[in-house]
Amino acid sequence: MSAAPATSAAPGPGTMAAFEAAKGFMPADEGRALYAAAVEAAALGLPLLEVGTYCGRSTILLADAARRAGVTALTVDHHRGSEEQQPGWAYHDPTTVDPEVGLMDTLPTFRRTLHRAGLEEHVVALVGRSPQIAAFWNTPLGLVFVDGGHTDEHAGSDYEGWAPHIAEGGLLVLHDVFPDPADEFTGQAPYRVYLRALASGAFTETAVTGSLRVLRRTGPHTPPTTPLTTTPTTPTVPPTGSAGGGTAPGGGA
């Protein structure tokens, strides 16, 4: 598969400027590919959902695509940061720590990001843990963008919780998909989810850009019959749950 063709929808200069100014990790080429996927999916007339908000970098792209189509962008995060964003780890940003409680809180930064981009009215922020929200969700979705926790437990639960809600013809977009075993901590769990989605028969890959994979819902979703992996990969860091968002090298949200 190749990146989206040049004729695909592209974000305007203002949207890209807001994206590049926002705190986060997703590179511009992956951002443009995400935007093209979001515009395509939004044509179904259904909401676009992101798992892993972080500070709203990739949310800007989903929100602008949603605005164009007259639909809503939804973004799920507990805003306490995922595994590798905790103190002492490579992607920790001390400016995101709430000094009063001593924990990460990216929600205020996220809200400022949307305000500066002029996109607040096009986004609904769902503040909580991804599996808890997915458990009571019952609305079809045009797109699900998974960019939350990067352990098998969290990436797997995001896929299991949200993939069944993708409408026929809708898109599943996975970020930080790294096939190389050297990327065990940052990208192997998303890679295993990617393989699992393809093996399910419910999804067909349509585009690849960097670590971003775009898959279309082309068949019925069936519950998993085997575990995601037989080798646990949860790192020894403070437990934060799924939907930390945009955490690995090249990560977005």
Indicate if 150 belongs to the active site. Answer: yes
Structure tokens at 209: 């850009």
Q: Tell me: the pLDDT tens digits for 55-73?
A: 999 999 999 999 999 999 9
Query: Is a pLDDT exceeding 50 seen at residue 216?
Result: yes
Structure tokens at 182: 């050297």
Q: Kind and range of the H or E element at 171?
A: strand 166-174
- Looking at residues 77-97, what average pLDDT do you find? 71
**Exposed/middle/buried for residue 220 (C-beta within 10 Å: 0-12, 13-18, 19+):** exposed
**What's the confidence (pLDDT) of residue 62?**
98
Q: Tell me: the pLDDT tens digits for 200-210?
A: 999 999 999 99
**What's the confidence (pLDDT) of residue 116?**
97
**What's the confidence (pLDDT) of residue 150?**
85
The average confidence (pLDDT) of the chain is 84
**What's the confidence (pLDDT) of residue 87?**
63
Structure tokens at 80: 């306490």
Q: Tell me: the pLDDT tens digits for 180-190?
A: 887 666 668 99
pTM: 0.84
Give the percent of the chain with pLDDT over 90: 67
**What's the confidence (pLDDT) of residue 60?**
98
Q: Please list the residues that pair with 104 across neighbouring strands.
A: 97
C-beta of residue 248 within 8 angstroms of C-beta of residue 186: yes
Q: Kind and range of the H or E element at 42?
A: helix 28-42
Distance CA 84, CA 82 (A): 6
Give the percent of the chain with pLDDT over 70: 77
Query: Is a pLDDT exceeding 70 seen at residue 231?
Result: no
| Banded model confidence at residue 103, pLDDT cuts 50, 70, 90 | confident
Structure tokens at 165: 């809600």
Q: Tell me: the pLDDT tens digits for 130-177?
A: 999 999 999 999 999 999 988 899 999 999 999 999 999 999 999 999
Say which range, 97-101, 126-130, 222-226, has the weakest mean pLDDT.
Answer: 222-226
Catalytic residue, candidates 78, 79, 122, 150? 150
Closest residue by Cα to residue 222 from 200, 242, 192, 251: 200
**Residue in this structure with the two tokens 């044509």, named with its chain if needed:** 43
